[in-house]
Amino acid sequence: MLKISYSKSLLIACGTLGLTLAAAAPASAQLEQALSVAKSSTAQSQAAQKTIDNADDSTDSMKREYLAVLQQKDNIELFVKKQDIYLESQAAELRSLQTQLETVEQTKQNMSPMMLRMVVGLEDAVENDLPFRMAERRARISRLKGFLSDPTVSPAEQYRQILNAYKIEVTYGQQLDAYEGAHPSDPSRFVNFVRYGRVAFLYVTKDESEMARFNTASQSWEPITASEAGGVRRAMRVALKESAPEMVVAPVIVGGN
């Protein structure tokens, strides 16, 4: 009886162990399956996060590109505005130049007759003036006429030459001058001419035996008095720089004499 009971007990125990092992086997598989599912879920979560991160990076990149395009657009608009301002400035300058050219052309048209009148007036003044250095002065006026008739000479240069001629004529009135020239009535003889600005003009022969002054009223030469001869000699030496500068008295013609 004892053996039978022991055998039964052993069988029962074995049976119980078998049941336990049988029950344990499905639990382990379930754990492995759960772990596999967890691993798979983690991997999927990592992949999803990576996708999200990539999407964020892509979004940031697109945003940066968009901002760069906006900046480039602003730069282009600014450049275009600056070019518009520059073009408008150039257009205004062109309009100003066109106006100036039209003014210059009008000025040229007005200057030509004015300069002709100036040269004619200067020529008349020279011919009616004291007859000093006439060859030189007439040659200067002849050159002026040549400038006015030369189309290659600019109006500005023509005007400059005319003003220069007027300036030279003005300085004649401020000088005590002496030079050698042909006798007014005997070109074979040379005399010394003395000019007191435009106040008096006279000549003295080389031997000082003959002295005469020019009378603008009668356009003729008149002899000077003996009392005036000494002053004329001093003036001639000063003008020729043969003596130191000093005050001289011009033998002028008073009244109708």
User: Which ranges of 128-176 does DSSP label H, i.e. alpha helix?
Assistant: 134-149, 155-172
What is the pLDDT at residue 53? 67
Question: Is this prediction's pTM over 0.85?
Answer: no
Dihedral angle, C-alpha 94, 153, 170, 123, nearest 10 ° = -130
Ranges of the chain with pLDDT below 50:
1-8, 10-14, 16-24
The answer to whether 215 and 130 have CB atoms below 8 angstroms apart is no
Domain ranges (residues) in the chain:
175-257
Q: Three-state DSSP class for 194? A: strand
What is the pLDDT at residue 55? 65
The answer to whether 207 and 217 have CB atoms below 8 angstroms apart is no
How crowded is residue 214: how many other Cβ atoms within 10 Å of its Cβ?
20
What is the pLDDT at residue 68? 80
Tokens of 147: 């400038």
Please count the residues of the chain. 257
d(CA 13, CA 28): 22
pLDDT in tens, 205-249: 999 889 999 998 889 999 998 889 889 999 988 998 888 888 888
What is the pLDDT at residue 176? 93
Q: Three-state DSSP class for 189? A: coil
